[in-house]
Structure 1
Amino acid sequence: MATIIPPTVDEQYSEPGVFTKFPGEGLPDIKRYITTHDKNGEGVFLPHDNGAHHSLMANGRGVQNIIYSTTGDQVDLEDDADMIRARDMQPGIHEPHGTVFRMIDFAPGVTSPLHRAMSIDYGTVIEGEFEIGLDSGETRIMRRGDVLVQRATVHQWTNLSPDKPARMLFVLLDVKPLKPINGKEISQDLGPLKHDFGADH
C-alpha cells in the first residue's frame, strides 16, 4: 500500500500531465441524458451530450467533468431554471446548499494532494483501481463498482495502475460546519487543488 505523502506544489504541477481534455486519454467518452416535460406534461429526453463543464486538474494529471449541479434545498425546475443554472455556472468543489455531480479521470500512477472539502462525497469507481488514503494513515483499496461515503475527512486518491488511466464518479452534498474535535479545527482545505475549482479560487 502507498504511503501517504502530501505532494508539494512544485512536485504536483511542475511538469505537464498526459491529459489535455475530457475524456482522459484511454478512457471512453460518456453520454449525459437529461429528462424534461413536453407541452403535455409527459417525460421526454433532451439531446444528449457529455457534460457542460470540463477542466484540467493538477496540470493535466486529471480532468474533471461537471455532469450537473444544483442549488437550494428544493431544486427549482420551473422554466428549466435548474438546467440554465447548471449550464451557465461551474461550481467549486462543492455547492453551498446544493449538489455537484462530478466525474474525474486520473492519469496513470497519479496521487492527489491531501485535501478536505466540507461535503459528503458519494464516490464510485467506474474504471480502474484506487487507493483512498486518510490523514490518519488508514487506507483502503477500491475497485470497479466499489463505493465510498466520504464525510468531510482529509483524504487523497491514488490511481494504482502505473500505465492505465482510471475514473471516479462523485456526488457531493454540502454539510453544516463541524465543531473542533479535541481542539483540531475541521475546515475546508483544498491545498494545491484550490486552483482547479473555479468558485473556490
Structure 2
Amino acid sequence: MSTSGPCTKFPAPGLRDPFRYITGYNDKGDSVILQSDHGDHRDIMLGGAAAQSIMYSSSGNPVDLTNNADLEFAKNNQPPVHIPNGCVVRMIDFAPGTGSELHRSIALAIGTVCEGEVELSTSDDPSMKRVLRPGDVCINRGAMHRWRNTSSNKPARMLFTMLDVKPIIINGKNLEFDMGHLMKEYAEYPEGEGPNKNA
C-alpha cells in the first residue's frame, strides 16, 4: 500500500499498527503476558514528516522490574531522545520522501529497519551513504547522521533502542548533543545542551 501525504498519526498510512507484548509474573509467580497493546506516547514529529510510538523506556540500568516499577515509569513518562543511565525503545514511521538534517545524540543508538528502505548518511560525502533494507541494523555510536526515506510514495519504519553512554571524547574534545531541527521534538533540552553536557 502506498501513501503520498505526511504522517497524521502513528502508524503512518499504509503501515500496520504494531503490537507490543510485555511479559512478567502474576500473583502466583507464573510467567504471563501482562500487556498486549500498541505502545505509548504516540506523537506526530516535525509537522508530519514522521510519527513515533514509544515501545519501552526505563529510568536506570540495571532496570528495576520488581512490582512492575519499570512499566509504571514507562507509562507515566514520555521520554526525551534518550534517558540518562536508562534506555528508550522508539518506533518511528517516516513519511514518503522525507529526511532529517544531520544530527547527533550523545547515545548508543541501535536502529533496525522494519519496513521500506532508509538511506543513512554521516556527511555530504557520497561514500558515506548506505541504504538499509528490512532487517538491516545501524549501530550509531554518537556520530552525526541523517535519515531519508528513499521512496517517494511509501512510508518507512525503523525501531531504535537508545542507550546512555559516557561522554564521547574525539581528538581531546567532548562531543556536543546536536539535534538540529529535531530539537523542537525534544524541547526539554535547551539548544546546544544535552543530557551528558556536564557529565
Is the TM-score greater than 0.5? yes
Please give the per-residue CA displacement for 1:51-77, whole angstroms capped at 9, x wherever unaligned.
111111111110011110012121111
Secondary structure of residue in 1 paired with 2:36: coil
Q: Distance in 2 between matches of 1:136 and 1:175?
A: 26
Superposition pairs of residues 94-109 of structure 1, within 5 angstroms: 94-109=82-97
Superposition pairs of residues 32-51 of structure 1, within 5 angstroms: 32-51=20-39
TM-score (norm 2): 0.88
Superposition pairs of residues 15-94 of structure 1, within 5 angstroms: 18-94=6-82
Secondary structure of residue in 2 paired with 1:200: coil
Please give the per-residue CA displacement for 1:166-188, whole angstroms capped at 9, x wherever unaligned.
0001111001002242x665111
User: How far apart are residue 197 of structure 1 and its match?
Assistant: 2.7
Match of 2:164 among 165, 174, 180: 174
Identify the residue that residue 100 of structure 2 maps to in structure 1.
112
User: How far apart are residue 27 of structure 1 and its match?
Assistant: 0.8
Identify the residue that residue 10 of structure 1 maps to in structure 2.
none
Residues 57 and 106 (structure 1), Cα distance of their counterparts in 2 relative to 1, 3 Å cut: same
* Stretches of structure 1 lacking an aligned partner (at least 5 in a row): 1-16
Identify the residue that residue 110 of structure 2 maps to in structure 1.
122
Structure 1's consecutive aligned runs of 4 or more residues displaced over 6 angstroms after TM superposition are none
Q: Distance in 1 between matches of 2:189 and 2:95?
A: 23
* Stretches of structure 2 lacking an aligned partner (at least 5 in a row): 191-199
* Letter of the structure 2 residue corresponding to residue 167 of structure 1: R
Identify the residue that residue 194 of structure 1 maps to in structure 2.
183
Contact 2:11 2:51 in 1 (8 A): yes
Q: Distance in 1 between matches of 2:70 and 2:174?
A: 34
Please give the per-residue CA displacement for 1:96-146, whole angstroms capped at 9, x wherever unaligned.
001110100000000111100011111111000011000362111111111
Q: Distance in 2 between matches of 1:156 and 1:200?
A: 20
Q: Distance in 2 between matches of 1:61 and 1:149?
A: 23
Identity of paired residues, percent?
Answer: 45
Identify the residue that residue 156 of structure 1 maps to in structure 2.
146
Q: Distance in 2 between matches of 1:102 and 1:109?
A: 21
